[in-house]
Amino acid sequence: MKTSEPHPTDSELGSRVGKDDVEAFQLLYFRYADPLFRFLWRRTGERETAEDLVQELFSRVWKNRSRLDPNRSLKAYCYQTAGNLAIDHLRRKTSSPINELAELPNPAIQPDELAFERRTRINKALAALPDGQRRVFCLSRFEGLKYSEIAQTLEISIKTVENHMNRALKKLRLSLEDLITLLLLFFLVPL
């Protein structure tokens, strides 16, 4: 190891990776590969896709190593890139002809198909959010981060996090209004 510290900071790792230090890149990989994999698996719902996206993420980090900003949080950069990769994957997946066929009404829809349809609609609604709102929403609802942690990760103020979350929730309520009503009826009306 080129530094005397047993656990270099992200800033040190970013600086070293930017200077083509393979050992620092390996440390970065081992530090973040597992949490990023879990993050991506929750986003995509597919283990293999999450594994592929982690590899793509670290491939991009290495490819763009000379442009890493030592003043920017490396963790935030990795999670932002992971979130963007997941969104791109979900957009490609939901815009494929197979999924377009799944959106056509079918009187013989099975419960699994209904769940798939709901999941697809939710993913589309999330993908339609502006980047800032989507990142804040996902970090809060899927990662369980507190607003202060989101603010630190994304390097924005807590007030900005609150604004993004409020706007995201309003947009999701509007775009999924019929789905929310259906779910409420399903759970509130006795069979």
Q: What is the pLDDT of residue 159?
A: 96
Is the per-residue pLDDT at 105 higher than 70? no
- Architecture per CATH, domain 1-94, reads as Orthogonal Bundle (1.10)
Give φ, ψ of 73 to 5 degrees. Answer: -60, 120
Rounded Cα distance between 56 and 59, Å, is: 5
Q: How far apart are CA 92 and CA 44, in angstroms?
A: 12
**CATH class of the domain whose range is 107-191:** mainly alpha
Q: Give the pLDDT of residue 156.
A: 92
Torsion of CA 62, 24, 53, 78, to 10 degrees: -90
Give the domain ranges of the chain. 1-94, 107-191
Kindly write down the DSSP assignment for every residue of 114-183, as one continuous string. Answer: HHHHHHHHHHHHHHHS-HHHHHHHHHHHTT---HHHHHHHHT--HHHHHHHHHHHHHHHHHHTHHHHHHH
pLDDT digits (tens, 9 = 90+) for 156-181: 999 999 999 999 888 888 887 766 65
pLDDT digits 0-9 by tens, 39-72: 888 888 888 888 999 999 998 888 988 888 877 8
User: In the prediction, which pLDDT does 191 show?
Assistant: 36
Q: Please choose, from the candidates 52, 55, 58, 67, the residue with its C-alpha nearest in 3D space to the C-alpha of residue 24.
A: 58
Does 127 have pLDDT greater than 50? yes
Beta carbons of 176 and 125 less than 8 angstroms apart: yes
Which residue would you say has higher pLDDT here, 71 or 83?
Answer: 83
Task: Tell me how crowded residue 115 is: count the other CB atoms within 10 A of its CB.
Answer: 10
